[in-house]
Chain A
Amino acid sequence: MTTKSKFAGLALAALGWTAVASAPALAQQGLDEPFQKGFKEALAGKTVAYVPVAMNFDLTEGWYAGLKKELEPYGVKFEIRDPNWNTNAGAQAVTSLISEKPAVMVIHNPDVQTYAKLLQRAENEGIYVIQINMGSAYRSSAFVGANWIEIGERDAEAVVKACDGKSNKIAIVQGALSAAASAYTLKGVENVLAKHPDIKVVSSQAADWDAAKAKAITQTVLKQNPDLCGIVGFWDGMDIGTAAAVKEAGLTGKVFVATSGGGERKGACELVKSGGFDLDLSYDVPTQAADMAATIKWLLSSGVKAGSVKGADYTTLIPITKDNADTQTACWNLSDLKK
């Protein structure tokens, strides 16, 4: 480029600026960013409705706190419907929300089928639907959450690896049979076991997400198989019972306990540090909340028709082990998130 044409280009650009932004090209007067106003207008006064399976546990409280923190400063109204583990109440909440027409619905499905048709109807009515952590059979504008198959696979791989050269006997402590998250995780575990025919599953039972049941099952299994080398658990909130049984049998460190959860400090890092869990795959809840908020911002500001785009944002898992359980970033505190 010659000096002359460069000069001409600059002049043209300057002209363009003045024409488009109709602002003087003088640096000390500032420039208006042309898109932020539209973004703010797209968010202000909009309603986001949140329907978890229940409040009062680390995951749903964390998502709620994170979403509120991200969206309320933009004037987004936040509504919450708590079905308290009652699938029926949840379906009613979703139905009544459809007629109330919020801009976005953030939905935590109790199973694959119940809400599927309702969510489709909601998107037909122009409501963006974001499904979190547990998806339904209907694919909506966005899914934000953990990949349960991956969790099952990675937990099982870790247990298989820990069993190398040992008895090759493992146990599986499932969640509730009706929960998709439990069934998907089991599929992931099966995927890995199919590749390792030498591994013997001595017990695969559902503990209903209940720590006391998980403890009872694990105690019995350990008495029958004291040479057990690993346990795949499906949720750290339940596997606190699994870990207690292993500890009481005096087998901490000998039986590898792998589980997964939302990464709340007391429920995850503290228990990894104390030796209860050897691996806790965390789908870091604050990150998930931030992902959800980002998706909501994008959808609202884009103005796309609800249901016309369909994407997914699977959470990158944080494996919590003894190596990182002490760090500030591996886990999170609900009380800090609420501040």
Chain B
Amino acid sequence: MKRFRLTQQEIVFAVFAILFVAFSVFLRGFLSSDNMLTLLQNVAVLGILGLAMAIVVIGRGIDISLIAALAVPSGLVLQMVQNGHSLPLSLAAALAFAICFGLVNGWLIAYAEVPSLFATLATGLFVAGLGQAALFQLDVVQWSPGMEGFERLGQGTILGIPTPIIMFAIACIVVALLLRQTRWGAYIYAIGDNPYAARVTGIPSRPIIVLQYVLAALIGCFAGLVMAASVNSMPTRVFNSTLIYDVILVVVLGGIGLSGGRGGVLNVIIGTLLIGTMLNGMTIMDVSYAGQNLVKGVVLLLAVITDSFLNPRNEDTAQQGDI
């Protein structure tokens, strides 16, 4: 199995390399440092979300509510500032909101033992609905003067590198340290690999599962803040978009098996790069919207098929509701 997994990563990386070289040769203006930075900047938020999803998927779960965690807390910040609250207070409220959201998700999945797919599907809908009904005046929450300075999180450059890329890099480092250097990270892998064995060996599996979802919600909230700062508003309707599929695409494409326990930050980076290259190339070629969706759909399908071939389901530990 070990050799095969390596091969999958190699396949994805090879596809990325081929695309990259082809675009560099045939597309004028693709291989400029400016365009490379744009490419990365355009997928930075997607990459950050990919990290959140990776943590959950490695622990053998999935978090469909991630986009709600992106849209609602960050929208709340903008709305509260618009209503006259101070920025620090609003940020604190958003953080508290994200943590509660993660706790609820985690509790449902770890203690109530609701399959993660259904639990997060429901909580995502609930939180998005709550935002629309009770928190926001309008779908698109606009920037207000009280937010002055905060847009630096998503705009401008640091040492010539666009800020969203720096934010993605910071998130990568933090998640990589967490997964590889801490005991909690090792527990997440253990639970993802075989939850029953993990429990038998004395790993506090339920609290660790809760932790996964809290982390995912917090990272989602961070991605939302970067996104809001980048477009000077929070289009909370993004919840209804296909963004969540793009996130899953990044994770699966990068080679993090949906059956859990495998992969890491590097896979998310590879997946993000491949998506970024595809999107950037297609935008330069002015491919129609339908054409772009078609290509993305085919690539996701291929990735999922490859995944199920190379990481077959473990029949002993598979649960109903697992994906």
Contacts and interface: CB of A to CB of B under 8 A. Distances in A.
Interface of A: 54, 56-58, 61, 84-85, 174, 177, 202-206, 208, 210-212, 215-217, 219-221, 223-224, 237, 240-241, 244, 247-248, 266-267, 270, 334-335
Contacts of A215: 230-231
Contacts of B10: none
B235 A223 contact: no
Contacts of A237: 140, 235
A248 B45 CA distance: 17
Interface string B27-66: 0010010110011011001000000000000000000000
A252 to B, nearest CB: 13
B286 A204 contact: yes
B232 A240 contact: yes
A220 B38 contact: yes
B179 interface: no
A288 to B, nearest CB: 17
A61 B139 CA distance: 10
B289 A217 contact: no
A202 B28 CA distance: 13
A223 B34 contact: yes
Given A244-B231, A244-B232, A223 B289 contact: no
Nearest to A221: B283
B204 interface: no
A241 B231 contact: yes
A216 B32 contact: no
Contacts of B231: 211-212, 215, 240-241, 244
Contacts of A270: 142
Contacts of A203: 283, 286
Interface stretch (B88-96, B111-119, B192-200, B237-245): B237-245
A208 B140 contact: no
A212 B284 contact: no
Contacts of B39: 220
- Interface SS majority for chain A: helix
24 contacts: A177-B289, A203-B283, A204-B286, A205-B286, A205-B289, A210-B235, A211-B231, A212-B230, A215-B230, A215-B231, A217-B283, A220-B284, A221-B283, A223-B29, A224-B29, A237-B235, A240-B233, A241-B231, A244-B155, A244-B231, A244-B232, A248-B155, A334-B138, A335-B137
B8 interface: no
Nearest to B128: A84
B289 A208 contact: yes
Given A205-B286, A219-B41, A244-B230, A211 B140 contact: yes
Contacts of A240: 140, 142, 231-233
B280 interface: yes
B279 interface: yes
B312 interface: no
Nearest to A238: B235
A177 B38 contact: no
B150 interface: no
Nearest to B28: A224
Interface in B119-162: 132, 136-140, 142, 144, 155-156, 162
Contacts of A61: 137-138
A212 B227 contact: yes
- Looking at B29, B42, B142, B231, the one whose CB has the most chain A CB atoms below 10 A away is B231
Given A206-B288, A240-B142, 12 more contacts: A57-B237, A58-B140, A84-B132, A205-B283, A206-B289, A210-B235, A210-B241, A220-B35, A220-B280, A240-B232, A334-B137, A334-B138
